[in-house]
Structure 1
């Protein structure tokens, strides 16, 4: 049994399929740690969740967009509030279109988000979390909103990385996070970014980048095609589609 990790596919079903196929992932035998945000942005959230639900050994972590979608489909998001507007303009509109306007999210999909873990620690002390953690306190004492929203951890890690300081985020053997696209730190960083024992897995699939999957033990990485080119007529969260940019 192999262990794989990926993050932040944001409705890009075609990219998910490519990563699964190119990595040789076995949906019956291997384990997939998905670091959150399967929803919002590209047009195939429903198909993406169906694919994840077909994986026998799936460990799904909660992302901030997952939290938004869960609130919306659980009736906890105000119909006229600022949060609803923000969610819809940050990719939520594509999720609504994927399931159908004014239609509910299927029960199994809703349960995936309800049961998503705020963090996960493996038996060999590998931490997996969507956004990062507060290094000043035990992770079990950290609020879920911090774990899925805050970029402070990434900023601290990247600052140390750029200064070429030796990094090891104790007490963990390794840490895997998503949420912050590598491209937002360095436009040339199209692969997962390893900073000491921390690996940033979000390679910008929600925007102009690729989706990545990594074998946790061998460290081998496989990637999708550029997601914009997989959905050339869709704007995603970019504000402009691939075809519009190259018209």
Structure 2
């Protein structure tokens, strides 16, 4: 069994298809660890989840956008300000993907409801969407820190920039998504290695590509820039590929 990890496809079904095809993932035999946020941004959340559900050995971790979508489709996203925030940050595309006023299919909602907050493998590799509190066991870290907070990555990235990447004790490696590498450095278009911390979100929801990595060999495959696969859509960047070409 090969082990692959990817993250933050944000409704980019075409990019997900490209990555799974290019890495040669066997849906029956190989494991895919998805670090969250399959929803919100591009127009094909429904198709993306349909595709993930075909992977027999899928491990799905909860992302912050997943939590938003799960709350909306379970009737718990009732505060107007938060609803508007979600819709503005990609939720509109998710709603359109399933159809206005239509429910999320039970199997899709179950994927989000049953998602893990983190995963530790038998060979002691930690996977989590956003980060964790290194001063306590990950099992004692609150959900907000695991799926929303950027304090973890800000701390580690600041040390990395100063030439002193921090080693995370207690784990062989740590994989995270959530914070796009291209928003930290627009030249960082591939997964970023900072000692034993690896950032997998390479900006698929914005102007970047979706990345998938073989956990054991560290080989990386990428989609085309996702906005070129949806040239008339704005995604989460606010400007479509077609609009950019006219600028």
TM-score, normalization: structure 2?
0.98
What are the superposed Cα offsets for residues 26-76 of structure 1, whole Å, 9 maximum, x if unpaired? Answer: 111000000000000000000000000000000000000000000000000
Could you tell me how far 1:166 is from its partner in structure 2? 4.7
Match of 1:69 in 2: 69
| Coordinate RMSD, CA, aligned | 0.7
In the alignment, which residue of structure 2 is the partner of 1:54? Answer: 54
Please give the secondary structure, in 2, of the residue aligned with 1:89. Answer: helix
Secondary structure of residue in 2 paired with 1:246: helix
Give the gaps of 5 or more residues in structure 1.
Answer: none
CA distance in 1, matches of 2:66, 2:204: 16
The aligned residue for residue 230 of structure 1 is 229
For residue 222 of structure 1, report the CA deviation from its aligned partner.
0.2
Q: Distance in 2 between matches of 1:42 and 1:221?
A: 23
Aligned to 2:203: 204
Q: 8 Å contact 2:32–2:59 — kept in the other structure?
A: yes
Task: Report what 2:15 is aligned to.
Answer: 15
The aligned counterpart of 1:4 is 4
Distance 1:99 1:165, change over 3 A: same
| Offset from partner CA, 1:113-163 (integer Å, 9 cap, x none) | 000000000000000000000111111111111100011111111112112
CA distance in 1, matches of 2:164, 2:233: 41
Q: Find runs of 4+ consecutive structure 1 residues off by over 2 angstroms.
A: none
Change (3 A) 1:73 1:60: same
Match of 2:35? 35
Contact persistence 2:156–2:165 (CA under 8 A): no
Q: Distance in 2 between matches of 1:149 and 1:155?
A: 13
Alignment-derived partner of residue 108 in structure 1: 107
Unaligned regions of 5+ residues in structure 2, if any?
none
CA positional deviation for 1:167: 2.6
Q: Distance in 1 between matches of 2:166 and 2:50?
A: 38
Instruction: Say if 2:202 and 2:210, in contact at 8 Å, map to a contact too.
Output: yes
Q: Which moved more, 1:237-246 or 1:191-200?
A: 237-246
Q: Provide TM-score, normalisation by structure 1.
A: 0.98
